[in-house]
Structure 1
Amino acid sequence: MTRTLPDMEWRHRTGLDHLLQVLEAGEGMSRYVGGAVRDSLLGLPVSDVDIATRLLPQHVMNRLQNAGIKAVPTGIDHGTVTAVLSGWPVEITTLRRDVETDGRRATIAYSDDWREDAARRDFTINALYADPLSGEISDYFSGLKDLEEKRIRFIGNAAERIEEDHLRILRYFRFLARFGIPDPQAEDYRVCVAKTNSLMALSRERIADELMKLLAVSDPLPALRLMVDGSIFAPVLPEIERSGLDRLARLIERESGSGAEPSSLRRLAALLQPDSRTADAVGARLKLSNKARKRLALAHDAAWSHIHKPAELAYRIGRESAVDRLLLDSSRPIADARGLLSWEKPSLPIGGGTLVKKGLAAGPLVARALQKVEQRWIDEDYPGAERVNAIADEIVDQLLQDSQNS
């Protein structure tokens, strides 16, 4: 029986019908492909829309520009042009076949054969095409059956597909976490295990990007267990061990109980030993941004263990990092983290200039006094300006008295 694409909301986005006319979808020149087709069949929300076309990239550019559609040559050397429709992008890629691959990048040639284009994709469930007008699904490698049976399967020979792009090992586990049922007996899993060392040839940025996407899945644990059992992390992230899975399991449960959104960084912190130096080293190796690297290290920094009040912790290290620490620490009530989710950092309603006006000489003494005022303000749960002014009077009077007696 012929399967058709469900009539999802994304198919009615502004400008899409016009784009399809420009790309001659009615004449069989262009089809939807990949995630939009897969997710629509599963009834999941669709964010990214991809179109495969027989038209050559420069022809796509010319047609879009002539039709008044914003065209961006995002990857034109590899056949991809992005059309921007009312602020949202659609990636349009000319049908391709691989000429040569080295595990990181491919030399391609353009094609007009749908099956040839499908054959170069990674997994069967990602090689589904849909006619934009009729909705008819084209399935060249039994992707529909695999989708129904929750099986993640490489197209063709798994070892060859991994040799074409080593990142497909990590993508296998990400798609397994989202759409599949983990099976330690699956042949494709065994091939991934055998090819694990090839991950060392990848840039750490690509590894980090794929790992963060995996950790963002609602429940990545079953796939991660297979990865740990197969020593998938050993060549690039040996710090991730089985004990980390137990910590992650507790974290996921606490995230859910607190109402906190899942965080890939927080989950990565759970996978690592609770040591800030280890966390920082992993962040550096994965070439995370300075902000992400700092957050990862703060999750395990013992220097903040003496602060027990959630709001004070958030004030000192930031709300995100405070929530991370509270959720990672299973000895803390979940309510502590829940109470910070909508917390906004208050501003101390007094400055050093006010303390000078109260009689302190500008310099180190003012800084000391301001710290004391701030700590009292925090201890009293951030009272308003009137109370802070009274606290400042007390502290200034005491400091002036101490200086006279010394």
Structure 2
Amino acid sequence: MSDARVLDAPWLRSGPSARVLKLLNGDGEEARVVGGAVRNALLGIPIGDIDIATTAPPTEVVRRARAAGIKSVPTGIEHGTVTLVLDAQPFEVTTLREDTETFGRKAKVAFGRDWVVDAERRDFTINGLSVDADGAIYDYVGGLADIAGKRVRFIGDAAQRIAEDYLRILRFFRIHAAFGAGEPDRAGYLACIAARAGLATLSAERVRMEMMKLMIADGAAGATIAMADGGLLQTILGGVAYTGPFAAMVAAERRMGLKPDPVRRLGALAVAVTEDARRLAARMRLSNAEARALDSMGHRWWRLAGMDEATARRRLYRLGAERYRDRLMLAWARAGGDGDGARWQMLATLPERWSAPKFPLKAADFIARGMAESPALGQVLALAEDAWLAAEFPLDEAALKAIADQAVTRYTRDIRP
């Protein structure tokens, strides 16, 4: 049915999306914007990709695009999806479908012309809305009421929706964290718990994608607790889930005014030692950069608790600003909000208040003191750098001369055979 409400969105009236709708409408065919773009527009939040459904079969979509000089890419043509590219903006255009046989991601589909059937095969009611080129909203599954009530519900039978694609378990919690309020929908929650073994069939890449989105959602703290209570996080993480430190990390980021960071939050949720970081990197196929960040966070984070500012400066010098802050934030989160937030915040803001100088001594300074050009130079430089840090980064010539002399003497006495 067409709801009385009309969506007043500028991208429906002009621009690339309006051109795609005009291209696909007419001559017996109809096209509408569907899914997340409609949901976000109704909520008044930024939209991402604009997906379009149409009664036209894929061959007709390609024909019309070609006639209009628009690039078309057969990204999933066997399932009815063609991507049209206008002004460097991609639009996924999918022919109305109905499942004839479902087995996970490999469902067999038949193309159709029934908008109700197409809506009923989608995942959640708030994603089942569509809007035509004139802004008329079509709601066949109760999505408008659920948007107003901040409810995330599966369309139809939750168990059936999940069996069609087990990734919907993670999407249920992620979308609830982003758009829901209060406790997750009871029927959906119980269905996710009952089907949790299906998570093991998902590719690491798909799990990573959903988990990283979940990590930065507004309601992530509550969602992770619900997932842990339902026995879902153990399957995903392969280890202990620390929901308390995760909630503390969210609170610390907000107190600091930091942008939510999915890797930092994942570290709070699942990393106590570096072995946890390495397990997660392999289990979730993290990028090299993500794996290194988690590994650094897990490395002796407890040594940052209770340190004074002089010690913090040495840590910052060794780690660099980004690694220092992430590890410090993990130590803060694992302290569980110990009531001394001002002290933690002071330490966390150190990179903004102080820039570490460069170590001023060079190999030439030690060659001038009789050291040969050999691997020993590196050892003497390391001794001198340690002494320079302990002396709190002096830059005056006399102090540097004393540090260099002492490093050579120490190496000669204690290290060189």
Letter in 2 for 1:340: P
Cα pair 1:23 1:29 within 8 Å, conserved: yes
1:146-205 CA distance string (max 9 Å, x none):
111122111111111111111111111111111123436722211111111121221222
Distance 1:361 1:58 in 2: 75
Give the aligned partner of residue 209 of structure 2: 209
CA deviation map 1:208-228 (0-9, x unaligned) = 221111111023122222212
Paired position in structure 2 for 1:317: 319
Report the alpha carbon displacement of residue 306 of structure 1 after superposing the two structures with TM: 6.7
Unaligned runs of at least 5 residues, structure 1: none
> How far apart are the structure 2 equivalents of 1:245 and 1:275?
16
1:228 aligns with 228
Deviation of the 1:34 alpha carbon:
0.5
Alpha-carbon separation, structure 2, partners of 1:39 and 1:103 = 27
- 1:378 to partner: Cα distance: 5.3
Larger displacement relative to structure 2 (344-353 or 271-280): 344-353
Contact map agreement 2:33 2:130 (CA 8 A) in 1: yes
Mapping 1:5-404, distance limit 5 Å: 5-8=7-10, 10-11=11-12, 14-24=15-25, 29-132=30-133, 134-183=134-183, 186-241=186-241, 244-272=242-270, 274-302=272-300, 305=303, 309-330=311-332, 333-340=344-351, 351-352=362-363, 356=367, 360-375=371-386, 387=395, 393-398=401-406
Distance across 2 between alignment mates of 1:28 and 1:403: 83
More helix by share: 2
- Per-residue deviation at 1:55? 2.4
SS at match of 1:104: helix
Task: Return closer, same or farther for 1:184/1:65 CA change in 2, 3 Å cut-off.
Answer: closer
Distance 2:158 2:304 in 1: 51
Check 1:404–1:166 CA distance in 2 against 1; reply closer, same or farther (3 A cut): closer
Residue range with higher mean Cα deviation, 57-66 or 247-256: 57-66
Instruction: Supply the distance in 1 between the matched residues of 2:273 and 2:353 (Cα, whole angstroms).
Output: 28
Q: Kindly indicate whether the alpha-carbon contact (under 8 Å) linking 1:327 and 1:334 is maintained by their aligned counterparts in 2.
A: no
Q: Give SS of 1:370's match.
A: helix
SS of equivalent residue, structure 2 residue 285: coil
Q: Deviations over 1:79-118 (max 9, x none)?
A: 2232333333222222222222222332222222222221
Which moved further from structure 2: 149-158 or 95-104?
95-104
Amino acid of the residue matched to residue 162 of structure 2? I
> AA paired with 2:262?
S
Normalising by the residue count of structure 2, what TM-score does the alignment of the two structures yield? 0.84
Aligned residues: 399
Question: What are the superposed Cα offsets for residues 228-266 of structure 1, whole Å, 9 maximum, x if unpaired?
Answer: 22212233335244xx22111211111111121111222
The alpha-carbon distance between structure 1 residues 353 and 120, as it changes in their structure 2 partners (threshold 3 A), is farther
Q: Is the 8 A contact 1:174 1:213 kept in 2?
A: yes
Cα distance in 2 for residues equivalent to 1:46 and 1:253: 26
What stretches of structure 2 of length at least 5 have no aligned partner?
A: 336-342
Give the conservation status (yes or no) of the 8 Å contact 2:16–2:86.
yes
Instruction: Check whether the contact 2:380–2:408 (CA below 8 A) recurs between aligned residues.
Output: no
Q: Secondary structure at the match of 2:298?
A: coil
Q: CA deviation at 1:345?
A: 7.6
Q: Is the 8 A contact 2:246 2:268 kept in 1?
A: yes
Cα distance in 2, alignment partners of residues 32 and 273 from structure 1: 41
Alpha-carbon separation, structure 1, partners of 2:393 and 2:55? 64
Cα distance in 1 for partners of 2:144, 2:256 equals: 37
Displacement of 1:71 in angstroms is 3.1
Q: Give a deviation string over 1:65-88, Cα, whole Å, max 9, x none.
A: 443333333333332232333333
List per-residue Cα deviations over 1:111-136 (Å, max 9, x = no partner): 2222222122101110100012x100
TM-score, structure 1 normalization: 0.86
Deviation of 1:207 (Å) = 1.7
The 1-side partners of 2:388 and 2:158 are apart by: 62
The root-mean-square deviation of aligned C-alpha atoms, in Å, is: 3.2
